[in-house]
Amino acid sequence: MTKRFLPAVSAVTLLAIAGDTSAQTFPTNPLRIIVPAIAGSAPDVRVRQIAPRLGEALGQIVIIDNRPGANGAIAARQAARAQADGHTLMSALVNNAINDLLHPNSSSRLNHELAPVVQFSLSPLVMVIHPGIAATNLREYTQLAKAKPGILTYASAGPGSITQLLGEWIKLKSGANILDVPYKSVGAEMPDLLGGQITTGYLVATAIATHVQAGKLRGLAVAGRSRLPVIRDVPTMAEGGLPGVEASAWSGYFVPAGVPQPVIQRLNRELVRVFNAPDIREQATATGTEVVGGRSEDFAAFIRSEIAKWGGIIREAGIKAQ
């Protein structure tokens, strides 16, 4: 080996040693998890289930920092600006990936300025309608929408939300004419949906299961690959005649880019152990949520696939940032 290569090799070796050392001593301070949702919301509750167990595993307290607003962009910017030592994490949501498509910000992109640690949850959206609508399945619903354009409405959480993207995707695939009615946030439409002022909603199973079971809402289709145990009588989109239409709310943990890989790997291991606790998995399954886990590389690939999928829908439907 020539002498001119020795400094470069030494630098690489020193970086590797530094990374290993940081993982061995990590964490040295309390951890912070930034949540892009208000306290008491479903994403916040999930994080608060996990935080104390992660803290116990790492020997440090874990502080929850709620930073709602701008469809998750405020939290993402805050997380990306944090020191890259692994003590600050962000619980990102599907909306953060959609933001990277509609409102690209080169300071806080998933898989770029924010590095993936591990995926936590995957919750297929469920298409539900008010029982006063004369449709008992997805085919009858789309036929009604074609026969009477504009009579059916669907609730979205506004431009660029996953509920709007799913609603527009269904329109593209079926040729149906359904009016988008935007609300301020996901779930805000529930009173109007139950009252019949809005005819259609796309929500996670935990939000609609009791209403479907009580007959207050009618489940038409699960936007996932399989039926959900909590509402097992509701077929999938593929069973209803729209194969390939899949949309899920998901969450996962990120750290600022530049966190040493050994630290990311340790966070991944400890979080996966927490996810695998029987009560965490059982509670998630009971509400129609899959606990994912896996490697950070797997999560990075999933993010890329989501951005590619929703990017195609956004272009095809002509959805613009507002």
**Cα–Cα distance list, 128 to 110, 211, 213, 285 (Å):** 31, 10, 12, 20
- pLDDT, averaged across the chain: 91
Please state the domain extents for the chain.
30-122+249-310, 124-231
d(CA 85, CA 6): 28
DSSP state of 62: E
* End-to-end Cα distance, the chain: 58
Closest CA to 77 of 100, 60, 59: 100
Architecture of domain 124-231: 3-Layer(aba) Sandwich (3.40)
> Which are the contacts of 6, defined by CB distance < 8 A and separation ≥ 6?
none
**Cα–Cα distance list, 181 to 151, 165, 201 (Å):** 12, 13, 10
Contact yes or no for 114/76 (Cβ under 8 A): yes
> Two tokens at 196?
């019949």
3-state secondary structure of 294: coil
| Rounded (10°) angle between helices 73-81 and 94-102 | 90
Exposed/middle/buried for residue 294 (C-beta within 10 Å: 0-12, 13-18, 19+): middle
3-state secondary structure of 49: helix
Secondary element (H or E) of residue 225: none
* Tens-digit pLDDT string for the chain (322 aa): 455 545 555 555 555 555 556 677 899 999 999 999 888 888 888 999 999 999 999 999 999 999 988 878 899 999 999 999 999 999 999 989 998 998 888 899 999 999 999 999 999 999 999 999 999 999 999 999 999 998 999 999 888 889 999 999 999 999 999 999 998 777 789 999 999 999 999 999 988 999 999 999 999 999 999 999 999 999 999 999 999 999 999 999 999 999 999 999 999 999 999 999 999 999 888 888 999 999 999 999 999 999 999 999 999 988 876 6
- Domain pair 30-122+249-310 / 124-231, same fold: yes
CATH 3.30.70.20 for the 30-122+249-310 domain, yes or no: no
pTM of the predicted protein model: 0.84
pLDDT tens digits, one per residue of 247-298: 999 999 999 999 999 999 999 999 999 999 999 999 888 888 999 999 999 9
